[in-house]
Amino acid sequence: MRAEQVELAARVRSEVGKQAAKRLRAGGEIPAVIYGRGQDAQPIALQAAAFKAAIPEGAWYSTLVKLRIEGAKGTGASPNAMIKEVQCDIVRRRVLSVDFQRVSLRETVHTTVPVVHVGESRGVRQGGVLEHLIHEVAVECLPTQLPEHLEADITGMEIGDSLRVRDLAAPPGVKIVTDPEEVLIVIAPPVRLEEVAPVQAAPGAVVEEVQEPEVITERAREEES
């Protein structure tokens, strides 16, 4: 399924640097930059809530964006772009900055798209464990042909079966450039917990007690000195 182009409002920002970025984030905005196609880098700002609502995390690098930049002039006010990099605060689960790259709708782009599994595996029904090893693959296509995701059909997979990149079906105009032999999905055997019998010491053997290492705190060192 081809991804729809997303429109995103932005504004030109004149202040750059760490302190300016902190002020933007405190006000609910994300500092961003758009560059590429022989034009100067343009610092912009996005509404954090609007960015999160428009582009889910899993689709950051596979979404064609139409930016509407308030304060920009001419064709620079509404460029087509794709996200090249997102910096995040993992602890607070928030986006810190975004880099966009201008793209032409008539030129091939190289990016990644998510892989999702569909169908029902007989091996899973029998107790096998589905291991999804690769969650995205690299593709080349026109921005207008970029798929929202690629589907890996696990129907009929038995325990021990694997699905490789070569088994994916790409839409017309889309070339998958990830190594075709890379394993995407495996139906692994069920995990069985075996009871381990305690080791019996031989008659007359001496069993040494294993002691925990001593931890000496700074205060203990002071008391010993």
How far apart CA 71 and CA 162 sit, in angstroms, is 52
Helix (H, G, I), strand (E, B) or coil at 48: helix
Q: Count of domains in the chain?
A: 2
Q: Where is pLDDT greater, at 112 or 202?
A: 112
Q: Which of 26-40, 42-56, 209-223 has the lowest mean pLDDT?
A: 209-223
In a domain, 68, yes or no: yes
Q: Is the pLDDT of residue 195 over 60?
A: no
Asked if 118 and 93 sit in the same domain, the reply is no
47: domain range? Answer: 6-102
Total-model pTM: 0.73
For the chain, give the mean pLDDT.
85
pLDDT in tens, 69-79: 998 887 778 99
Average pLDDT over residues 170-188: 96
Average pLDDT over residues 194-209: 49
Asked if 118 and 91 sit in the same domain, the reply is no
Q: Where is pLDDT greater, at 119 or 197?
A: 119
Q: What is the pLDDT, as a whole number, of residue 225?
A: 40
Residues 6+ apart with CB under 8 A from 6: 54, 55, 63, 64, 65, 66
Q: What is the pLDDT, as a whole number, of residue 199?
A: 54
Average pLDDT over residues 14-25: 91
Compute the residue count for the chain: 225
Q: What is the pLDDT, as a whole number, of residue 54?
A: 93
In a domain, 196, yes or no: no
Q: Is the pLDDT of residue 126 over 80?
A: yes
Q: Where is pLDDT greater, at 33 or 211?
A: 33
Q: What is the pLDDT, as a whole number, of residue 224?
A: 41
Asked if 85 and 139 sit in the same domain, the reply is no
Asked if 91 and 132 sit in the same domain, the reply is no
CA dihedral 163, 164, 170, 175 (to 10 degrees): 170
In a domain, 140, yes or no: yes
Confidence of residue 217 (pLDDT cuts 50, 70, 90): very low
* The two three-digit tokens of residue 215, written as one number: 């931890």
In a domain, 176, yes or no: yes
Q: List b or e across 167-199, with b for residues whose CB sees 16 or more CB atoms inside 10 angstroms.
A: ebeeeeebebebeeeeebbbbeeeeeeeeeeee
In a domain, 223, yes or no: no
Q: Is the pLDDT of residue 52 over 70?
A: yes
